[in-house]
Amino acid sequence: MKLFYQLGRVCCLLLIVGMSLAASAQKTFDLLSPDGNIQLSVTLGDRIYYTVSDREHGLLLQNGELQLQLRNETLGKNPRLSGQKRASVDDEIRPVVPFKFSTVRNRYNQLLLNFKGNYSVEFRAFDDGIAHRFITRKKGEVEVIHEDVNLSFAGDYLLHAQLDGFSSYYEGPYEHFESRGFKPDDKTASLPLLIDTRKGVKILLSEADLNDYPCLFFHGRGDDNGLTSILAPAPLETKADQNGRNIRVAREADYIAKTAGTREFPWRWYIIARNDGQLIESTMVCRLSPQNTVEDVSWIKPGLVMWDWMNRWSDYGPEVNYRAGVNTQAYKHYIDFASRNGIPYMVLDEGWSKNIAAPLEVKPEVDLDELVRYGNAKNVGLILWITFRGIQDDFDDDSFNLFEHFSGRGIRGFKIDFMDRNDQVIVNFYERAAREAARYRMLIELHGSFKPAGLEYRYPNVLSYEGVRGVENRGSCIPDNSIYLPFMRNVTGPMSFTPGSMLNVQPESYKQGLGVNLVMIGTRVHHMAYYILFESGLQMIADSPRQFDQNPDCRDFIFSTPVTWDETRALAAEAGQHAIVARRHGDKWWIGGITANNDGKSPEFDLRLDFLQPDRSYRLTAFEDGVNAGQQAMDYDVCRQEVKRGDVIHVRMARNGGWAATIE
């Protein structure tokens, strides 16, 4: 009995010691946002785990996992800490092209964990979210097999995302689904991904400082209730498809990237919004991206762009005394209109060259040099549509430089289309195109692209990206989808939605292929408000000169709207329902609001003008949905009144409606 008692004591002691050793093997590091509302907890065990909590709303993300799998080792597996550093930063960023704010406050607390094996993981906690990234210090090149960014949800959440694959236009409609219903064998979710925790908090997830590395996607985990990362393999062999526009991957590597062993990997960021307006106002990508690398930026001039693509074959009227289509006369007509209305750019879209893969061969119907001369005389710069394939072929030929050639002929920029992939090769192409364009003082819009991830801050000549279900999609571009854009896609960066329809209908009146110009779903004022709500450094004008000239008050309002902003304020915001945003450029304010279908209801809002300067009077001019706009979408009224700081204005919008105003 005595021996049995002694053995029991020994076993208990061994158990206690074992538990103590297990506990000591796990180390937890807490990082608070500067305002103390967000807590990030990092635990080191068999791998690196992290948990995110909000002081008011509790646990949001639990037991997230981070690993970086290289060819011969996995960083983050059984991590051995060698040191840690903490810092607090509070400074200002002044972006060359201000999409939301001319001055961005950059305030965060930082935790840098250094590990044996020459790598680190950096965490930052902002007042509106958190971010993390790997940093490596390896010799030579490394092959990255995979990166684990695995999330576990602390509840049954509602997710909003585009579901697609690696050969993606990023133009699919947003889909809305339960977190437990997102199965591993479903389509992958592209970024940005919006998470409604149903706790009064929404989380927007995306990435920044993306370079020499593929884009991040996610699979669902079904009943396991979370997300698992997936990234496109590096292409080993590519092949042009039959239409000549796209270059598809024919053979994949067994790794996602071959890259420098000493580098900083992309940021994975999470905006944590206690109200949906915080998503609209967020500057997370700006704060996490390297800033301008272009020495002289004086030539970078954002602005409106006249665009003929949606109307070129259906122009009509006495002023159209030429054969509609792609020819010198047609382009001159659009240049004349742009010049009369102070529009600084005109894009020559697909069709000006004989062969989309050989852009040096211009169609005989298009006198490019004459159009450049004519545009310069009218103060309208020309931007050429061109394919990724055309530029990539040029990159492969060291004896010729397409950027130098067209810059020398007076072309102001390229609209580069049909990348439609997101692997390491495409990401590197974006940067090379931006760098070459900057070298020859050319502007860039990336069409057929993935979502922005910060390149536009390093190369501010990159003024816009597509990667959105915009007006080109005609009848499937509906307010019920577009209402998510200010809360998701536009948060990641500038967006070429190509707004500007003057022919407007409610959904039941829409007929695909009406044959005349640009008919779009949503009220007239809904489409006017896009110019205030949607951010783009090259903001396209989609409708025809005739339609705008028949609506001079709407035309003049739209064409007076800036494309850069000194200040942005969300006045009323609910993702999926409505967004009303005030923006300041200089001393003048613009307010734009849109709604979705809203079950046929007409939402109303009382907005307090507490952002105006005190002791001054202002003139408000507002375009409002007319009394019949719920049926006849082109119905609108114009209201004018004197206002001052603190006044309350009443805003009513029809279903699929809008509100657009200036205060000066």
Q: Which residue numbers are catalytic?
A: 417, 472
The three-state (H, E, C) secondary structure of 512-526, written as one string: CCCCCCCEEECCHHH
Residue 416 in tokens: 């580069």
> What is the β-pairing status of strands 226-231 and 129-152?
antiparallel
Sorted by sequence, the CB contacts under 8 Å of residue 10 that are 6+ apart come out as none
> By three-state DSSP, how is residue 490 classified?
helix
CA-based nearest residue to 524, from 658, 404, 649: 658
Residue 272 in tokens: 């944590």
Q: What CA–CA distance (Å, rounded) separates 156 from 162?
A: 19
> For residue 104, what are the CA distances in angstroms to 29, 37, 38, 203, 327?
29, 20, 20, 21, 44
Q: Which helix (H) or strand (E) holds 623?
A: strand 617-625
Place of tokens 């009303």: 580
Exposed/middle/buried for 310, CB within 10 Å: 0-12, 13-18, 19+?
buried
> Going along 321-449, which residue ranges are E strands?
345-348, 353-355, 358-362, 381-387, 413-417, 443-446
Q: What CA–CA distance (Å, rounded) separates 568 from 286?
A: 14
Buried b / exposed e along 440-470 (16+ C-beta atoms within 10 A)? bbbbbbbbbbbbbbbbbbbbbbbbbbbbbbb
Q: What CA–CA distance (Å, rounded) separates 351 from 385?
A: 9
Exposed/middle/buried for 184, CB within 10 Å: 0-12, 13-18, 19+?
exposed
C-alpha torsion angle, residues 146, 260, 442, 419 (rounded to 10) = -30
Place of tokens 């499937």: 476
Q: What CA–CA distance (Å, rounded) separates 320 from 91?
A: 54
Backbone angles phi, psi at 481, to 5 degrees: -95, -45
Q: What CA–CA distance (Å, rounded) separates 592 from 594?
A: 7
Cis (ω within 30 of 0) for the bond into 192? Answer: yes
> Going along 186-335, which residue ranges are E strands?
188-189, 193-196, 202-208, 216-220, 226-231, 235-240, 247-252, 257-264, 267-273, 303-307
Helix (H), strand (E) counts: the chain: 14, 40
Residue 369 in tokens: 């040099």
Backbone angles phi, psi at 407, to 5 degrees: -60, -40
Per the CB < 8 A criterion, the answer to whether 436 and 417 are in contact is: no
Q: Which helix (H) or strand (E) holds 648?
A: strand 648-652
